[in-house]
């Protein structure tokens, strides 16, 4: 059951729903999960809290310029799965990234805004589940 955290500036609720649905579809397809795991996939949208492992400059860029950071936490994240997920998720987030507003002069002169947004992906492997404790009987056995 993968967990996804999307760090971005404030997004409308409807846009969050669309992003979540598409990210779940991408997750199921690229991480090769069963269809019933759709409801075990969690997506969390974080707008203000600073994530661990992300420096102050990147956090400032996220809040100021609308960049996205997507953290993926799951099991059995092979390099092929990470690469497939990264390609599809980056393409999705590039489509929904808010465009940087153009100034009035730029609009009048027909200058187009820069579309590329920075999209960061971070993968973390979940440790295997803890099994039941193994109990050893240390009492001496009768012969």
Q: Which residue has the tokens 């994530």?
A: 51
Instruction: Give domain limits for the chain.
Output: 3-125
Give pLDDT, residue 134. 52
pLDDT in tens, 101-143: 556 676 677 766 555 567 888 888 877 665 555 555 556 666 5
Q: Which residue has the tokens 């579809």?
A: 25
Give pLDDT, residue 29. 92
Instruction: For residues 28 and 32, give the distance between their C-alpha atoms in angstroms, rounded to a whole number.
Output: 6
Give pLDDT, residue 80. 93
Joined together, the tokens standing for residue 117 give 């947004």
Instruction: For residues 29 and 138, give the distance between their C-alpha atoms in angstroms, rounded to a whole number.
Output: 49
Instruction: For residues 129 and 61, give the distance between their C-alpha atoms in angstroms, rounded to a whole number.
Output: 36
Q: What is the pTM of this model?
A: 0.65
Joined together, the tokens standing for residue 138 give 């240390």
CATH of 3-125, one of 1.10.287.3510, 3.30.429.10, 3.20.20.60, 3.40.50.720: 3.30.429.10
Give pLDDT, residue 137. 56
pLDDT in tens, 6-57: 998 888 899 999 999 999 999 999 988 888 888 888 999 998 544 455 555 5
């Amino acid at each position: 059951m993968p967990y996804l955290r999307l760090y971005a500036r404030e997004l409308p609720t409807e846009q969050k729903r669309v992003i979540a649905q598409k990210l779940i579809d991408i997750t199921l397809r690229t991480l090769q999960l069963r269809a019933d795991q759709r409801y075990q996939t969690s997506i969390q949208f974080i707008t203000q809290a600073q994530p661990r492992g992300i420096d102050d400059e990147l956090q400032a860029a996220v809040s100021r310029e609308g960049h996205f950071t997507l953290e993926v936490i799951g099991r059995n994240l092979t390099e092929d799965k990470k690469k497939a997920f990264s390609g599809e998720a980056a393409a999705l987030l590039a489509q929904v990234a808010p465009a940087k507003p153009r100034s009035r002069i730029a609009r009048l002169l027909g200058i187009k805004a820069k579309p590329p947004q920075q999209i960061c992906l971070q993968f973390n492997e979940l440790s295997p589940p803890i099994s039941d404790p193994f109990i050893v009987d240390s009492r001496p056995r009768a012969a």
